[in-house]
């Protein structure tokens, strides 16, 4: 094993995902500890140009027609070969719809450990957030190559931008694929584009029933904004997917993000952490969103909404 740190670059339809730059920032912290090089691993077809802004010592570029679009088994095969042959000290993947598919299977295939949900490297320790952000865990690098999946929060994407780095082509072999991409299905055209709203009244599990959404809508109407939601509300079918904020939903940066009954799991925070003013209203004093918000109110939201509506009406 050597001391190098790999960062598996995520890209989709010609765009490098922000998590890739965040991983490079974390990888730089870890490489400083191990004394190795920071290598970005870029897989694709005609994708070399995506290496341009990667703040890595080196880009290992694996080109193959089967890697033109992401599929879990093509990526897994390519990376299993690369990692077992070169044995880096650690390899970062996004804790994303792309990275987790690959990191988990590689861990089992190569029998090496996987540390998930890392938000920060601190003094060489891998700091993870589990239990919806309510528990932190610190893990050391193992004696073998350690795989790490990364969530946003501890670094800004700008910290991982730089370059252009040296690009080194590496051979990758991919065969007998069991997964194939048929097509991409574009998101439905939304009645409201929540990424463009200045005010979002965002609702979570705490809203309890579909009927209660009208309370949030009343607030949104008064403040000239729209209602958005965390995943559980959308999974219940109470609001369309286009209103979902978070990992699989939209990333929003409104002037005001008023969160009603949203606990603040990392998957949700990922979509709204950059909002200018976050106010969290939650009955649970331990809700992780209070660690992200500027202002917090620890009350039953149903006790607060009516007085709040009255106060806004009086102030207008």
Partner 1 sequence: MTHILVPVKLVPDLVEELQIAGSGNALDMTWLRLIISEFDDHAIEQAIILKERSGGEVTVIAPDQEGMDDVLFTAAAKGADRITKLSGDFGEGFNNHALARAFASAVEGLAPDLILTGVQGNNDLDGSVGPCLAEYLGMAYVGYVAGVSLEGGKAVIKKEYPGGLIAEMEVALPAVLGIQAAEQPPRYVAVSKVRQMMKETSIVEIDAGDLDPSGGLDVSRMYLPEAAERAEMLQGNEKEVAARLVEIFKEIGVI
Task: Show contacts with partner 1 in window 52-91 (CB under 8 A).
Answer: 69-73
Closer CB to partner 1, residue 165 or residue 264?
Answer: 264
Own/partner pairs, 248-256, CB within 8 angstroms, 24+ separation? 248/97, 250/194, 250/195, 251/195, 252/194, 252/195, 252/197, 252/200, 252/228, 253/195, 254/197, 254/198, 254/199, 254/200, 254/225, 255/198, 255/199, 256/198, 256/199, 256/200, 256/223, 256/225
**Binders of partner 1 in range 124-143 (CB under 8 A):** 125, 128-140, 142
Residues within window 154-213 making contact with partner 1, judged by CB under 8 A: 178-188, 198-199
Tokens of 142: 């193992």
Q: How far is the CB of 41 from partner 1 (least distance, A)?
A: 19
Interface of this chain with partner 1, residues 274 to 293, rule: CB under 8 A: 276-280, 284, 286, 288, 290-293
Under rule CB under 8 A, residue 311 binds partner 1 = yes
Q: Which of 48, 100, 159, 217 binds partner 1 (CB under 8 A)?
A: 100
> Could you say which residues in the range 213-232 bind partner 1, by CB under 8 A?
223-225, 231-232
Question: How near is the Cβ of 310 to partner 1 at its closest, in Å?
Answer: 7
Which of 41, 54, 60, 114 is in the footprint of partner 1 by CB under 8 A?
114
Q: What's the closest the beta carbon of residue 46 comes to partner 1, in angstroms?
A: 20
Task: Output the smallest distance, CB 223 to partner 1, in A.
Answer: 5
Pick 21 or 59: Cβ nearer partner 1: 21
Helix 72-86, helix 99-110: angle, nearest 10: 50
Binders in 3-42 for partner 1, by CB under 8 A: 12, 17
Closest CB to partner 1 among 113 and 162? 113
CA angle 227-264-292, nearest 5°? 100
What backbone torsions phi and psi does residue 162 show, to the nearest 5 degrees? 180, -145
- Which pairs from 195-198 meet CB under 8 Å and 24+ separation? 195/250, 195/251, 195/252, 195/253, 197/225, 197/226, 197/228, 197/252, 197/254, 198/224, 198/225, 198/254, 198/255, 198/256
Closer to partner 1 at the Cβ: 105 or 202?
105
Cβ distance to partner 1 smaller for residue 24 or 308? 308
The nearest distance, CB 241 to partner 1, in angstroms, is 5
Rounded to 5°, angle at Cα 46 from 40 and 51: 30
Least separation in angstroms between CB 71 and partner 1: 7
Footprint of partner 1 on 233-262 (CB under 8 A): 235-237, 241-242, 244, 247-251, 255-256
Classify 217 in phi/psi space as left (phi over 0), alpha (psi -120 to 50) or beta: alpha
**CB 39 → partner 1: shortest distance, Å?**
22
- The only residue of 32, 168, 196, 294 in contact with partner 1, by rule CB under 8 A: 294
Q: Please tell me the count of residues contacting partner 1 according to CB under 8 A.
A: 101
How many residues are recorded in the chain? 316
Q: How far apart are CA 86 and CA 24, in angstroms?
A: 19
């Amino acid at each position: 094993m050597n001391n190098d740190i790999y960062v598996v670059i995520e890209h989709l339809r010609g765009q490098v995902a922000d998590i890739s730059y965040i991983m490079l920032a974390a990888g730089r912290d870890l490489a400083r500890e191990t004394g190795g090089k920071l290598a970005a691993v870029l897989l694709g077809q005609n994708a070399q140009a995506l290496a341009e802004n990667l703040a890595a010592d080196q880009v290992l570029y694996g080109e193959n027609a089967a890697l033109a679009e992401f599929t879990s088994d093509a990526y897994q095969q390519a990376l299993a070969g690369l990692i077992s042959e070169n044995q880096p000290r650690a390899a970062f993947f996004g804790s994303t719809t792309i990275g987790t598919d690959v990191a988990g299977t590689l861990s089992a295939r190569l029998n090496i450990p996987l540390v998930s949900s890392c938000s920060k490297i601190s003094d060489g320790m891998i700091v993870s957030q589990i239990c919806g952000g309510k528990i932190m865990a610190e893990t050391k690098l193992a004696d073998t190559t350690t795989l790490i999946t990364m969530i946003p929060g501890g670094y800004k994407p700008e910290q991982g931008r730089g370059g252009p780095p040296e690009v080194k082509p590496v051979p990758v072999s991919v065969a007998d694929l069991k997964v194939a991409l048929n097509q991409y299905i574009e998101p439905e055209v939304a009645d409201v584009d929540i990424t463009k709203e200045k005010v979002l009244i965002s609702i979570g599990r705490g809203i309890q029933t579909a009927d209660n959404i009208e309370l949030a809508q009343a607030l949104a109407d008064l403040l000239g904004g729209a209602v958005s939601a965390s995943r559980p509300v959308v999974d219940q079918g109470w609001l369309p997917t286009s209103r979902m904020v978070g990992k699989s939903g939209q990333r929003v940066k409104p002037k005001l993000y008023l969160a009603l009954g949203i606990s603040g799991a990392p998957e949700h925070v990922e979509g709204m952490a950059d909002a200018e003013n976050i106010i969290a209203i939650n009955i649970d004093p331990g809700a992780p969103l209070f660690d992200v918000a500027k202002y917090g109110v620890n009350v039953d939201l149903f006790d607060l909404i009516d007085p709040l509506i009255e106060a806004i009406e009086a102030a207008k």
